[in-house]
Every structure is written in C-alpha cells, then in structure tokens.
Amino acid sequence: MGLEKIKEEILHKADAAEREILIEAEAKIRSIRSNAAVHMKQLESEAAKKLDADMKSLENRENSLANMESRKILFETRKSLIDKVYAEAFSKIRNMPAKDREGIIKKLIGMAKKEIDVDTVYISEKDKQYCKDGAKIKVIEADGGIICETKDGNVRVNLTFPSLFADLREKTVKEVSGILFD
C-alpha cells in the first residue's frame, strides 16, 4: 500500500469517527434537552402547586381574620344593645313614680332587717322621706335604694339600685341575650 492509500484510509477513519462523535453528541444534546424539558415541567408543576397552596393558605388566613373581625363587631354590637336595654331599664327604675319608690324602699328596709340588725340607713335625699322605721338616717348621693348598717358599723347591706341592678344584670344577661338574639 502506498502512502496515499494509508492517508486516505486514515482520513476515512477520522471522518467516520468524527461522524460517530457528532451523532453521539447530537444524541446527548437531545437527551439533555429532553431531560431539561422534563425537569422544567416538574419545576413548573411544583411551583404551581406551591403557589396554589400558598394562595389557599393566604386566603384561609384572610378568611379567618375576616371571620374574627366580623365576630368581634357582632359581639360589640350585641353588647352595645344589651347595655342599652339595661340602661333603659335602669333609667325607668331610677325615675319610677314616688308611690312605687316608697313601696320599694320599704321592701328594701325589710330585706335588710332579715339579714342584719339595722341601726343606720344610708339613703338619698330624694328617698329619705320613705324611711320611717326609727333607724338613724344618713343622706348619701345615690340613684336610689339604701345601705343599711349595724350599730357597730362592721356589717353593711348594700341595697342601692345600682348595686341591685348590677347583681340582676349578672344573673340575667344570658337570658336577656337569648331573648334579644335567638
């Protein structure tokens, strides 16, 4: 074989090797592109799922905050209405006619006498005319009712309208709420 033939054979083998390398490189490029596309789709899918989960979480949080705020507003509105109902009722008691007021004061003194030996009755200027049971009378500023005290001053019974009304409210607020809102 001549030198020319060897040269041709080497070039031919080099061309074949080059084509084989190019074919392999193109196959690897296609494989990398395919894998990259699959990986990109997975990343997009995961990102979409995470975004959806984050959106739902944010939406749930916002809904919870809105529900809390609406419950707070509802509670405050109900409380305000209940306060108005009791304020109106207390106003009616505080401003009851003299005849009714006299009867109430006498009943309150009777209640106090069942609890303690009444020596002194603390009463408003407006109501002192109704206290005719022989106890000492001391005038106080009050919306009505009485405070009775023993002779030694150690025991007092508070039967003022505000005190009685506060006790009544505590005992009836659930029932009043039920009547107003159920």
Helix (H) or strand (E) holding 10: helix 3-94
Residue 142 CB burial class (10 angstroms; 0-12, 13-18, ≥19) = buried
Total-model pTM: 0.60
Segment 155-178, tens digit of pLDDT: 989 999 999 889 988 898 888 878
Segment 96-135, tens digit of pLDDT: 898 898 899 899 989 999 988 988 999 988 888 888 777 8
Cα dihedral 148, 151, 155, 157 in deg (nearest 10): -10
CA 59 to centroid of chain Cα atoms: 19
- Closest Cα to residue 88, out of 159, 180, 181? 180
The whole-angstrom separation of Cα 148 and Cα 108 is 9
